[in-house]
């Protein structure tokens, strides 16, 4: 009879141990699932931040593009200034070559919108992604310097440089 009591105690102890281990593994599994979801969310946030930074970098590269930037007689560049004649020529040849500038601008659409005295759009680079999931727009206010001008020979206009980056 005593042997039976010890055996029953051992069975209860074994059942308790199995129940505790079962609950432990369930909690461990839930922790792993929650951590995986959290990591995916953090990775998505980091990817979005990196993509936004890439869009901002492209905007700054476009603003200070040597092919468009204003210069004076001393070969000094103007800040946030785009030469209107260079911009008009670039627009007439349908923008920068995709083959040459893909490493710099990738899949994006870059254009300047002249706001005064009349509204005109000038395309700088156009390589929209055929099937894109997301687009991040950014803009930068610029001065358009017209060396030919009217009368006095030099005039300034206002514009906005738009950059749309596709992912």
Residue 6: predicted pLDDT: 61
Q: Residue 3: is its pLDDT beyond 80?
A: no
Mean pLDDT in residue range 58-79:
78
> 62, 163 in Cβ contact below 8 A?
yes
Give pLDDT tens digits for 81-102.
888 888 888 888 888 888 888 9
Residue 7: predicted pLDDT: 75
Q: Residue 150: is its pLDDT beyond 70?
A: no
| Domain parsing of the chain, residue ranges | 52-166
3-state helix, strand, coil in the chain (%, to 5): 45, 30, 25
Angle between helices 98-105 and 2-63 (to 10 degrees): 130
Task: Report the share of the chain in percent with pLDDT over 90.
Answer: 33
Q: Residue 75: is its pLDDT beyond 60?
A: no
Lowest mean pLDDT segment, chosen from 12-26, 48-62, 138-152: 138-152
Q: Helix and strand tally (H, E) in the chain?
A: 3, 6
pTM, entire model:
0.73
Mean pLDDT in residue range 5-30:
88
Residue 77: predicted pLDDT: 63
């Amino acid at each position: 009879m005593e042997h039976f009591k010890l055996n029953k105690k051992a069975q209860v102890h074994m059942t308790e141990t199995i129940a505790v281990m079962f609950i432990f593994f369930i909690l461990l599994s839930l922790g792993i699932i929650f951590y995986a979801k959290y990591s995916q969310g953090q990775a998505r946030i980091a990817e979005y931040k990196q993509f936004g930074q890439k869009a901002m970098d492209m905007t700054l590269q476009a603003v200070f593009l040597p092919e468009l930037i204003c210069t004076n007689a001393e070969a000094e560049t103007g800040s946030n200034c785009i030469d209107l004649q260079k911009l008009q020529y670039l627009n007439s040849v349908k923008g920068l070559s995709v083959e040459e500038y893909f490493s710099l601008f990738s899949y994006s659409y870059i254009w300047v919108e002249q706001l005064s005295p009349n509204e005109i759009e000038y395309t700088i680079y156009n390589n929209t992604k055929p099937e894109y999931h997301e687009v991040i727009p950014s803009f930068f206010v610029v001065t358009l310097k017209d060396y030919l001008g009217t009368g006095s020979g030099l005039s300034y206009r206002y514009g906005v440089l738009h950059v749309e980056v596709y992912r």
